[in-house]
Chain A
């Protein structure tokens, strides 16, 4: 609200007048935008009088456990329905949550599989409905109603996610809510697949459904459905999955109604509330076992997906008593016209995922597990963007925020005797896969992505190597799905897949798990293309742990001007099965071979042109000189690392023909390397004298704080900055304009503009 200058001696309004003013403002609200009061809060709502009375009448632990298991089974049943019947690839890989929410809108019990980051952020739309629609005479909330939602500024991760939300009544009173949320993908944005990296404002991000009623008497309203189908590229999927989510909710409702029949409303309300309160209390107890400490780390995003630049995610994690405080101040300012910003709820969701999957996987799934943990951010930063900033690629910020959290948490957990998982180096945090779209060989308009994003390399742990191509950080139990089945629906083939990318390593005493190569080529459509949306082609998007190294970097490689299907038909011996061989040997005459960062905007491909990427590796753990030589040789045998690189890095000596290890020579080489470290290492005090610089390097476009001065946020150069608390616009020029300016400058320097008028 603007501050309007008022005379100095203004009359102070009475309480009656204040109430009148408030009523006037409420009655004349022009737009119910995203509500900061709801969106900035991830803690549980206060215990209501109804809950208090229910708990007073029924708090028997055995009954509560029985009902919780019953509701949990209902949620899992709903989850299975969505996973099995959902049309979206996201449903198939478990990018789903089904849950039961308290009457106040807190997610009390959720399905155990799938994408647990939803646990911390699917409750916001329900709170919006309660606050705004429950008592609105033009909307209302009645038995048989269902609400739809996808606008991330009102909740959920990003606009690909659609929720179906049903209120549950008993004897005319609202007792709880059920909801089902799925990553549907397509949403009519400027690029197919629902996560446009080209979006420069929220208006480029497609369908924006604040929570609204789309179901009455348990039936989808056809007029609204038709409008929604017209707003996206996959109208059939839109309908099918709305029905699937509705029926999953109805199944969970059925289990709740059965519970109400056997145990009554007090038992249900008490179970939902006490489950959350007990988990919240347990989390605070577990935190109190950690050492009181501050841990600092940072992770770099090396692009906005449109251009390479240095975008800092700054993280200070402090534990004091039973409080755990993530402080992301100092992270890069919000980009006004780039979509890699996140609303803060998305960041909290990924941190919730960290705890539910990697730290305390035994806790009941729900909102309570992250509720007592505190998060601090700068306003209008990439970690807490404004509602006017695009956020369709918020994954870039929430994933790097997750990794900063995972890296910091490991340093607390090592010394803590009470562990529920092993100490874990960061898992690869990007979604190295192809997003695709266009018109299929069957004439259908499609837009979605390859489920291979579910195979990122895991970080090493305290006593074992990371697993290869295991899971994405946001869905640890995800499935890859059958590529061959997918190929029946889409007009491209993965010509190479599931083959590990050699030498794309994260070394350590225990090495990170690696990822596999993906090569795709369009086959049966003239209107088909791909995009990629990842960081990490110039700077690894993570840190190693306790002396282990992070992963390397991962580019996009293209071979154009070739029809590889003709090659395979006529001269198959020319084909190679690795990016390394194809790009370095260049076997296809006349073709162009290029490399790019991983932010490829949607690009139409021609038949037989190759687009090639690799999944990433998780981080390594510990000093690589302590790695078991047998493990190094096993990596060579499995094609993970080439013999020369293995010998040079790990200082393992072996027979090049038989790979038989020479243990004595290995021990000698490793001793020599430790001595070499002592010789080349510089004492810290001396090192920082030459290393430390007062400002970011002039040759890099740098965003975020430098060093520990978190209040000064650089915006692209040492001369441009803002303070943490005072937002400023942060526009990026169009990369094509930048390139044109560079080329024109070169033409001008050559006096080759030909007298063109300016």
Chain B
């Protein structure tokens, strides 16, 4: 049984492993954080959020201050998909962001069965109003 947990990650409940949903790479044990099986890049936020105002003239430029915040980018080590980002204070330990209870998850999904695709959720539709 494989459960899609995010856009790019799933858990194989039998092997208890995180897997990449893009390339099927086995990332690491689901008893630990998936980040531990990722490549990490410390991104200067100015590269993603470019200054709109001239940084030579102004203190604030629409661009995050790289001394105050960095973007940690987590890549699948096999296909290079960017699985997650984390805006982090410099030096702040990365978060163990998803810590599932595997036995409970297994019991929950035993009753559901394998889904071909994750459920997207309902569209927002215009109300047709009250009628008889």
Contact = CB atoms under 8 A, between A and B. Distances in A.
B24 interface: no
A717 to B, nearest CB: 14
A298 interface: yes
A419 B121 contact: yes
Interface in A671-698: 673-675, 677-678, 680-685, 687-688, 691-693, 696-697
Contact of B48 (A292, A556, A649): A649
A539 B4 CA distance: 31
Contacts of B5: 291, 411, 414-415
A708 interface: yes
Contacts of A295: 97-99
B10 to A, nearest CB: 8
Interface string A290-321: 01111111101010000000101000000010
Given A538-B65, A681-B77, A297 B38 contact: no
Interface in A700-724: 700, 702, 706-708
Contacts of A300: 69, 87, 89
Given A414-B6, A421-B121, A555 B61 contact: yes
Nearest to A597: B60
A596 interface: yes
A419 B38 CA distance: 29
Contact of B39 (A411, A673, A681): A681
A411 B97 CA distance: 9
Interface stretch (A14-22, A163-171, A502-510, A564-572): A502-510
Given A463-B120, A707-B92, A546 B49 contact: no
A501 interface: yes
B110 to A, nearest CB: 13
Given A507-B48, A674-B79, A543 B86 contact: yes
B40 A538 contact: no
Contacts of A421: 121-122
Contact of B75 (A553, A677, A688, A697): A677
Interface residues of B, number: 71
A134 to B, nearest CB: 40
B38 to A, nearest CB: 6
A292 B108 contact: yes
A422 interface: yes
B59 A549 contact: no
Contacts of B77: 678, 681, 683
Interface string B81-112: 11111110111111111111100110010001
Interface in B28-59: 35-42, 45, 48-50, 52-54, 57-59
Contacts of B68: 302, 310, 538-539, 700
A587 B79 CA distance: 49
A347 B67 CA distance: 30
Q: Is the interface of B mostly helix, strand, loop or mixed?
A: loop
Contacts of B119: 416-419
B62 A503 contact: yes
Interface string A414-441: 1111111111000000000000000000
A525 to B, nearest CB: 28
A550 interface: yes
A593 interface: yes
B79 A503 contact: no
A415 B3 contact: yes
A708 B93 contact: yes
B49 A291 contact: no
A165 B94 CA distance: 48
A595 B59 contact: yes
Contacts of B81: 547, 623, 625, 674
Nearest to B123: A422
Contact of B94 (A420, A623, A688, A696): A688
B97 A681 contact: no
Nearest to A580: B52
B63 A553 contact: yes
Contacts of A687: 40, 42
Contact of B121 (A462, A682, A696): A462
Given A462-B120, A684-B36, A546 B80 contact: no
Contacts of B94: 684, 688, 691-692
A10 interface: no
Interface string A140-169: 000000000000000000000000000000
The 3 A-B residue pairs with the shortest CB-CB distance, nearest first, are: A681-B39, A552-B49, A693-B91
21 contacts: A292-B104, A293-B101, A294-B99, A295-B97, A300-B89, A310-B68, A411-B5, A421-B121, A537-B60, A538-B65, A549-B49, A552-B63, A553-B49, A583-B57, A593-B58, A595-B59, A677-B75, A682-B41, A687-B42, A693-B91, A700-B68
Interface of B: 3-8, 35-42, 45, 48-50, 52-54, 57-65, 67-69, 71-75, 77, 79-87, 89-101, 104-105, 108, 112, 115, 118-122
Interface of A: 291-298, 300, 302, 310, 312, 320, 411, 414-423, 462-463, 501-505, 507, 509, 537-540, 542-544, 546-557, 579-580, 583-584, 593-597, 614, 621-625, 645, 649, 673-675, 677-678, 680-685, 687-688, 691-693, 696-697, 699-700, 702, 706-708
